[in-house]
């Protein structure tokens, strides 16, 4: 959160990066230059394991945020120009290039978690040597971030640190607003105004909807299996054979869960007749199962007729499906608007 073809959740641009330099030195200050910082453009993608093993650590690749349901790896490249002011004109005096790798692991049964980050030794030219760095991190929506790092570290050697996250107690049934971590780096060097850069993690969300607090990366899809509901699975396979692709992990678009009981009833009524066909009734299949599920934003008549179907099943199978979905939602903290696929 691809069955590599399965879920490419799309390459999404990360929130805008903030880059800054220190204010120009006043006449009575000793600063004779400034530090100018830029950062590699970063994109987000789903891990190949997003549906199959959403609890495994997301893999890392440069200038990417790779995510699954409970993990992200963010690999950032940072460039610092050391700029000397000579007779009022900026002159490049040196450079430093390094990267930062973050590995964040969320928890299904706790709203407190941690991450580790690793800063490489900088490749420097001339005055790029001897740069110092401070690291800060912040979060919102009831979650606080605390950085553990040797502040003022010199980029001439590699280093590492961690961030601990602690979330205020969440009442049962409550879903916190989405949040993200903003990392801020401040660079210093004697005789130069400081330079700063900031960037964001993937979006995460904590909840206690079912009575157990936990946090996930909601944009990363997971998958619910209908294998133990054979007639329902058969109906979905027939739809996919006719070209219905919503919820199909092999190249289809994801479904999106909906928490709205009133709309759920409307969606079901819009596609399910009140009475089953005679042959289904004789076989004891008197329960209408709609696909996409009524509890999705694609349910009811929201999709064209060729992208949806109904299957008449025995009540026991429909009840079994309901239990399967509830257990899946509880395990993966699937909430309103969350994307998912259906495995058959």
* pLDDT tens-digit series, residues 280-306: 999 999 999 999 999 999 999 999 999
Return the pLDDT at 75. Answer: 95
φ and ψ at residue 179, rounded to 5 degrees: -145, 175
Q: Are 131 and 72 in contact (CB under 8 A)?
A: no
Task: Quote the tokens at residue 220.
Answer: 């990363």
b/e string for 263-291 if b means 16 or more Cβ within 10 A?
bbeebbeebbeeebeeebeeeebebbbbb
Return the pLDDT at 217. Answer: 97
Which of 164, 172, 165 lies closest to 141, judged by CA?
165
Task: Quote the tokens at residue 227.
Answer: 């294998």
Dist. CA 119–CA 98, nearest whole Å: 7
Dist. CA 55–CA 1, nearest whole Å: 9
φ and ψ at residue 323, rounded to 5 degrees: -65, -40
Return the pLDDT at 218. Answer: 97
Return the pLDDT at 1. Answer: 34
Return the pLDDT at 32. Answer: 81
pLDDT digits (tens, 9 = 90+) for 88-104: 899 999 999 999 999 99
Dist. CA 184–CA 137, nearest whole Å: 6
Q: Are 254 and 339 in contact (CB under 8 A)?
A: yes
Q: Are 330 and 210 in contact (CB under 8 A)?
A: yes
Residues of the chain under the 70 pLDDT cut = 1-31, 41-56
Which of 52, 93, 94, 102 lies closest to 72, judged by CA?
102
Report the DSSP beta bridge partners of residue 90. Answer: 85
CA angle 234, 238, 241 (to 5 degrees): 135
Return the pLDDT at 17. Answer: 40
SS3 110: coil
For the chain, the first-to-last Cα distance in angstroms comes to 19
Return the pLDDT at 7. Answer: 30
């Amino acid at each position: 959160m691809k069955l590599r073809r399965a879920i490419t959740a799309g390459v999404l641009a990360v929130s805008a990066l903030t880059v800054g330099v220190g204010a120009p030195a006043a006449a009575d200050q000793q600063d004779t230059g400034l530090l100018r910082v830029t950062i590699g453009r970063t994109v987000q993608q789903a891990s190949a394991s997003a549906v199959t093993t959403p609890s495994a650590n997301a893999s890392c690749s440069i200038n990417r945020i790779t995510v699954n349901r409970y993990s992200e790896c963010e690999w950032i490249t940072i460039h610092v120009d050391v700029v000397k002011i000579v007779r009022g004109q900026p002159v490049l005096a040196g450079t430093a290039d390094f990267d930062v790798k973050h590995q964040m692991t969320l928890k299904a049964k706790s709203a407190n978690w941690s991450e580790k980050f690793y800063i490489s030794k900088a490749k420097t030219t001339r005055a790029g040597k001897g740069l110092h760095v401070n690291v800060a991190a912040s979060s919102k929506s009831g979650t606080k971030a605390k950085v553990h790092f040797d502040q003022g570290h010199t980029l001439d050697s590699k280093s590492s640190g961690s961030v601990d996250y602690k979330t205020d107690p969440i009442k049962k049934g409550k879903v916190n607003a989405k949040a993200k971590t903003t990392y801020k780096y401040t660079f210093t060097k004697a005789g130069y105004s400081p330079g700063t850069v900031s960037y964001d993690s993937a979006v995460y969300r904590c909840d206690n909807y079912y009575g157990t607090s936990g946090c996930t990366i909601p944009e990363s899809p997971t998958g619910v299996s209908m294998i133990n509901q054979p007639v329902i699975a058969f109906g979905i396979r027939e739809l996919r054979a006719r070209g219905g692709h919503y919820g199909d992990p092999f190249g289809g678009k994801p479904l999106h869960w909906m928490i709205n009981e009133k709309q759920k009833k409307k969606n079901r009524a819009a596609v399910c007749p009140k009475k089953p066909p005679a042959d289904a009734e004789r076989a004891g299949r008197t329960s209408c199962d709609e696909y996409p599920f009524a509890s999705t934003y694609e349910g009811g008549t929201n999709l064209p007729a060729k992208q949806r179907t109904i299957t008449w099943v025995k009540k026991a199978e429909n009840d079994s499906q309901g239990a399967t979905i509830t257990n899946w939602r509880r395990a993966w903290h699937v909430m309103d608007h969350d994307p998912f696929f259906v495995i058959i």
